[in-house]
């Protein structure tokens, strides 16, 4: 097979695109100029694009059913932001909560030698905020997995 080992776009299903965009904006994220707030918002990152789109529209596009506008609390998927230190993890958690998100799992040392917490955006999309001393970050802030 010849499918490239990468992802280009992650779309998060949200109840209200405008409200979700405001949340990520409070985190300091800047939407791409091509975004049309209200319909879909795109955030360019060093590793791919994050899109915010209404859950019902995302389900319709994927030809799957959803029982309500908000997806279930646990979707068996979490995105992650790796940070350079435990202190950066703690600071990011604080900023996440101030912006309107919630802590799903408090920060703690991990069995793999790192430090990690789980947070959720207002729509329940999970993010791990982590420091992994075995994965140094490159100049773009992306972990170097060996």
Closest to 131 measured CA to CA, from 109, 111, 99, 146: 109
**Residue 70 above 70 pLDDT?**
no
Angle, alpha carbons 83-86-89 (nearest 5°) = 55
Using CA atoms of 10, 11, 17, 20 in order, give the dihedral in degrees to the nearest 10.
Answer: -40
pLDDT at position 101, please?
97
Q: Give the pTM.
A: 0.88
Contact criterion met (CB below 8 Å) for 65 and 13? no
Using the predicted structure, report yes or no on whether residue 76 has a pLDDT greater than 80: no
For residue 91, what pLDDT is reported? 98
Instruction: Tell me the three-class secondary structure of 84-128, residue by residue.
Output: CCHHHHHHHHHHHHHHCCEEEEEEEECCCCCEEEEEECCCCCEEE
Work out the burial of residue 106: count CB atoms within 10 Å of its CB; fewer than 13 is exposed, 13-18 middle, 19 or more buried: exposed
Three-point CA angle 40, 41, 43, nearest 5°: 150
CA 50 to chain centre: 8
Is the pLDDT assigned to residue 69 strictly greater than 60? no
């Amino acid at each position: 097979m010849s499918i490239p080992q990468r992802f280009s776009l992650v779309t998060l299903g949200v109840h209200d695109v405008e409200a979700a965009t405001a949340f990520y904006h409070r985190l300091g994220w800047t939407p791409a100029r091509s975004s049309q707030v209200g319909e879909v918002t795109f955030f360019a990152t060093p590793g791919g694009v994050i899109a915010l789109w209404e859950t019902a529209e995302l389900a319709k596009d994927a030809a799957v059913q959803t029982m309500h506008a908000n997806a279930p609390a646990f979707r068996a998927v979490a995105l992650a932001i790796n940070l350079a230190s435990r202190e950066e993890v703690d600071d990011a958690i604080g900023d996440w909560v101030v912006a309107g998100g919630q802590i799903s799992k408090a920060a703690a040392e991990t069995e793999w030698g790192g430090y990690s917490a789980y947070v959720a955006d207002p729509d329940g999309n999970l993010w791990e905020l982590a420091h992994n001393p075995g994965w140094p970050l490159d100049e773009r802030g992306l972990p170097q997995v060996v």
